[in-house]
Amino acid sequence: VPRAPVAVVGASGYTGAELLRLLAGHPHVEIADLSAQRAAGATVGEVFGHLRGLPIGERVVDAFDAVRISNTAEIAFTALPHGHSARAVAALRARGVAVVDLSADFRLRDPAEYARWYGGPEATPHPAPELLAEAVYGVPERYRDAIAAASLVAGPGCYPTAAILAAAPLLAAGLIRADGLIVDAKSGASGAGRSPGLATHLPEAGEGVRAYKVAGAHRHTAEIEQELGAAAGASVRLVFTPHLLPMSRGILCCVYAAPGDALSALRTEARGRAVADALAAAYDGEPFVTALPAGACPDTAHVRRSNRAHVSATYDARADRVLAMSAIDNLVKGAAGQAIQCMNAMRGWDERAGLDAPPAFP
């Protein structure tokens, strides 16, 4: 069976590195094209020292060219800054290339929302609004069938992925309320990307913790609200607090919620089991998501460098609240790995193809 030729657009960031790593080991594809604007002309090994000495490390990075890509690749992964990505996607889709986009450009269904969150001070409109209708939000655990039928998938944000995996099944089952949600998420520094800055300078960030872009200032707020709203069948306004932690990878997400009617209807003693069972049922048979047994808490160290997610749900009887938690690797299940999982679904391959390496611990 010939391998499907794929293109990686925007290969010089951390998401690009993970796409290269995972696609290089994927049994059904070959990397046919590889581009990055700033790094064009360099070898992959020069851009990423960890790939030196490997076949992928000797490849030369090209500049982006939609025509060239459409001539060689069937599927493209686009990992460019928002705005730029939409234009690249439009050019590729116009030439018939299927796309999994890892930017924010196709995540929000409503172009007005996009303009508000990503359009800058002038609310610049979406660069390719005509594509929004065909874009499918790429969480296979939520939209598997639509992804399988899609030609354009919007790879979700890292924080939204974590929040959705923890909370969506509970919302969908009416076990937690859609109003009053609190999403408190802790991320490793790779989530900030590869451009150095004071906020991720090792002496400043290496031994402390802080929140940032709180109270609705972080763009992922819109995406989390859209998707948790969809799960709940209601409009959602929630509190989202991201934190920067002194580690390179991983997101731990805590979702706090009031009990929904379906939970309050149960005897108090039955509620803990109800929320845990709901997650277990939701992820039964899922290749990448494991609902932990009662009493266990997700640990980002247990999913690092894998496409796996650990989730848990606990009922706090004293306070009459539910705590749903998830741990993912922000660059894998939160970005490159989930994108490949979507490609697998689009192609009808086993979703685990290229993604079945267990986490490496410690």
* 12 touches its own copies by CB under 8 A: no
Q: Which is nearer to its own copies, 134 or 246 (CB)?
A: 246
Contacts of 150 (CB under 8 A, 6+ apart): 98, 134, 135, 136, 346
Q: Please work out the total of residues on this chain that contact its own copies, with binding judged by CB under 8 A.
A: 92
3-state secondary structure of 129: helix
Q: Which is nearer to its own copies, 42 or 247 (CB)?
A: 247
* 362 touches its own copies by CB under 8 A: yes
Query: Which of 94, 112, 123, 215 is the binder for its own copies (CB under 8 A)?
Result: 215
158 part of the active site: yes
Min separation Cβ 298 and its own copies, Å: 7
Helix (H), strand (E), coil (C) string for 140-155: HHHHHHHHHCCCEEEC
Catalytic residue among 158, 253, 254, 342: 158
Query: How many Å apart are CA 33 and CA 70, to the nearest integer?
Result: 10
* 96 touches its own copies by CB under 8 A: no
Give, for 315, the enclosing helix (H) or strand (E).
Answer: strand 309-316
Give, for 4, the enclosing helix (H) or strand (E).
Answer: strand 4-9
Q: Which is nearer to its own copies, 121 or 285 (CB)?
A: 285
What binding mask, one character per residue, do residues 290-329 give for its own copies by CB under 8 A, x or -?
x-x---xxxxxxxxxx--x-x---xxxxxxxx-x-x-x--
Query: How many Å apart are CA 234 and CA 232, to the nearest integer?
Result: 5
3-state secondary structure of 48: coil
* 238 touches its own copies by CB under 8 A: yes
What binding mask, one character per residue, do residues 22-51 give for its own copies by CB under 8 A, x or -?
--xx----------------------xxxx
Query: How many Å apart are CA 245 and CA 49, to the nearest integer?
Result: 24
Q: Which is nearer to its own copies, 119 or 359 (CB)?
A: 359
Query: How many Å apart are CA 105 and CA 88, to the nearest integer?
Result: 11
Which residues in the 263-282 window bind its own copies by CB under 8 A? none
* 74 touches its own copies by CB under 8 A: no
User: Parallel, antiparallel, or unpaired: how do β-strands 309-316 and 321-328 relate?
Assistant: antiparallel
Query: Which of 37, 151, 200, 264 is the binder for its own copies (CB under 8 A)?
Result: 200
Query: How many Å apart are CA 344 and CA 354, to the nearest integer?
Result: 9
Q: Which is nearer to its own copies, 19 or 91 (CB)?
A: 19
Instruction: Kindly list the catalytic residues.
Output: 158
